[in-house]
Chain A
Amino acid sequence: MRKLILISIILFSVNLAFSQNWRLRSNCYVTTSSDLPLRYIEGISFSGFYSYRFKPDTSILLVNQVYGGLSFSTNSWANHLLAKIGFSPHIKSWKKWSSNADIEIGNGIALFKPKPLYTIDFQSTVYMNYHTLKDNLWGIGLGIQYISTPGYKKYTTIEQFEPNMLLSLRYAF
């Protein structure tokens, strides 16, 4: 089994928190254009190729800093529907700045017929937030993400491990 590691960057990630308890997030990941040797397979160079994942999700605060929600993602070969649970600890506060993290795990399915395939998703992000006078909050995040559909390895000659470096912008009001 040939192995392929993809390193991706979220070029576009927006979090909208409409209240303290509910959040809508939209992420669009684009893999690096890469002349990375990691993307060379058997002497074939694929520098300059791009793939992506689009991942909108929504979550609601359950108790204390624990939240749950649904996320949907689509990438080059499947659509995924995931139920997720996460922990969002506060790390530190300064005068106008604060820092927190999101650590979440999602379990769900890749949408296939005749039967869906189990999918697991992990995401961890650390945010730095700036608080404006009107109590709005702007934040930027950095993190990693991993998604795997083990059953799909029966169909593909690559194994995918996809750590993503996230650049995220979030706005709460």
Chain B
Amino acid sequence: MSFRSKKLSLLLLIPFLFQCSKLPDENLLSNVTQELYETTDYIILRSENSTPTKTMIFYPGGLVDPHSYLKWQDQLVSNDQSLQIITVKMPSNLAVITSKKGAKLFDHYPDIKEWYIAGHSLGGAMATNLVDEYPDKLDALIYLAAYPSDERIKNYSGGVLSISAENDGLTTPEDIQERIDDLPEPFQMDSINDFPSEVRGKTMYYEIKGGNHAQFGNYGEQDNDKEATISSDQQQAILVELIQNYLLEL
């Protein structure tokens, strides 16, 4: 994209700066069991009394408050105490404005051995930019109801996990399928334990039956989404177990 095109794209964003972001239930934070640190730019979740060796950078969905994902993140960190999750706060809650903000974390945690990036919806699409810029630094990319806009990371040698939901009305299963050629070699998972012998250099696809777009977080319903036939707790339990299994395979 040329500099001029980028400037025009930023102008198109101006109307979004006047939009509302979705807040999660205000009791969400009181249920967090792991250590939570927060700055103006980052939310850091990690186990108490442990030194993390793995870090997952997380980009929230567009116009979604970044605290909305703490419930399942808390469970994931609770299950794997070597993992910390750093959610990146985005200007106006739009990852498209500063899609490489997560890169600032690399220098601050020199002892971290494995880096992953995950993102929901727009956040996932923008996470692609960080992988494109730092392919050797990032061991895996995890899409939650998201896909790349082009084939820049088709030859990415790390692992890609694409998690979608059957009743997603915004990032539909058809959308995911249409972009399959933009990502490394596809592998359709039949269950959350169904991995090939080598997951790096491949894209794992898993669709959560009965799930929808909004239930990847806890910010309530979303316009144009379809009705889920499983609860958000059920969807997020599958999500946690799937990510956990995947990280063990890397």
Using a CB–CB cutoff of 8 Å, the interface residues on chain A facing chain B are: 2, 4, 6, 31, 39, 41-42, 44-46, 48-52, 54, 72, 74-79, 81, 111-114, 116, 154-158, 160
- The digit string for B15-26, where 1 denotes a CB below 8 A from any CB of A, is 001111111101
| CB < 8 Å neighbour of A156 from B38, B93, B104 | B38
In the complex, the answer to whether A79 meets B36 with C-beta atoms within 8 Å is no
B38 touches A112 (CB 8 A): no
CB–CB B40/A113 < 8 A: no
Number of interface residues of B (CB under 8 A): 31
CB atoms of A111 and B21 under 8 A apart? yes
Q: Distance in Å from the Cβ of A95 to the closest Cβ of chain B?
A: 42
Q: What's the least CB distance linking A41 to chain B, in Å?
A: 5
Not counting A76-B91, A116-B20, a sample of 13 additional A-B residue pairs whose C-beta atoms are within 8 angstroms of each other reads A2-B38, A39-B39, A46-B41, A48-B108, A49-B39, A51-B41, A75-B91, A77-B66, A79-B17, A79-B21, A113-B21, A155-B67, A156-B67
A77 touches B93 (CB 8 A): yes
Q: Is the CB of A41 within 8 A of B220?
A: no
| Chain A residue with the shortest CB-CB distance to B36 | A157
B44: Cβ under 8 A from any A Cβ:
yes
- A44 lies within 8 A of B37 (CB): yes
CA distance A156 to B41 in the complex (A): 12
Q: Let me know if A76 and B26 touch, CB within 8 A.
A: no
| Residue B168 CB within 8 A of the other chain | no
Whether A155 pairs with B26 at a CB distance below 8 angstroms is yes
Contact A72–B23 (Cβ < 8 Å) = no
Q: Chain B contacts of A49 at CB under 8 A?
A: 39, 41-42, 104
**Measured CA separation A46–B65 after assembly (Å):** 22
